Amino acid sequence: MFNWLQNFADWLIYSVFGLTHGSKIGDAFNFFVYDSIKIFILLGVITILMGIINSYFPIEKVRNFLTKRKMVWT
């Protein structure tokens, strides 16, 4: 799913910054760049989805729904 991102991280770290593939520092920076970008993408997707959900379900309607239907945990 994120192969394009791994290719970008490889290109950035090994070609642009000139670190060697297989070295500890090169692999560490590659992992850091790859995971940081992936986390920001996933965080953005979650933020957009929650914004859409929040706009369709106003807080008052959700609050009224939850107070009317109390769940009993057994």
- φ and ψ at residue 61, rounded to 5 degrees: -65, -40
Give every CB contact of residue 37 below 8 A, 6+ residues apart in sequence: 5, 8, 9
pLDDT at 13 over 60: yes
- 1: confidence class by pLDDT, cuts 50, 70, 90: confident
Whether 7 is in a domain gets the answer: yes
Whether 48 is in a domain gets the answer: yes
- What are 22-72's pLDDT values in tens digits? 999 999 999 999 999 999 999 999 999 999 988 888 888 878 888 888 766
Whether 74 is in a domain gets the answer: no
User: What amino acid is encoded at 17 in this protein?
Assistant: F
pLDDT at residue number 67:
85
Residue 56's domain comprises: 3-68
pLDDT at 74 over 60: no
Whether 73 is in a domain gets the answer: no
Q: What is the total count of domains within the chain? A: 1
Whether 27 is in a domain gets the answer: yes
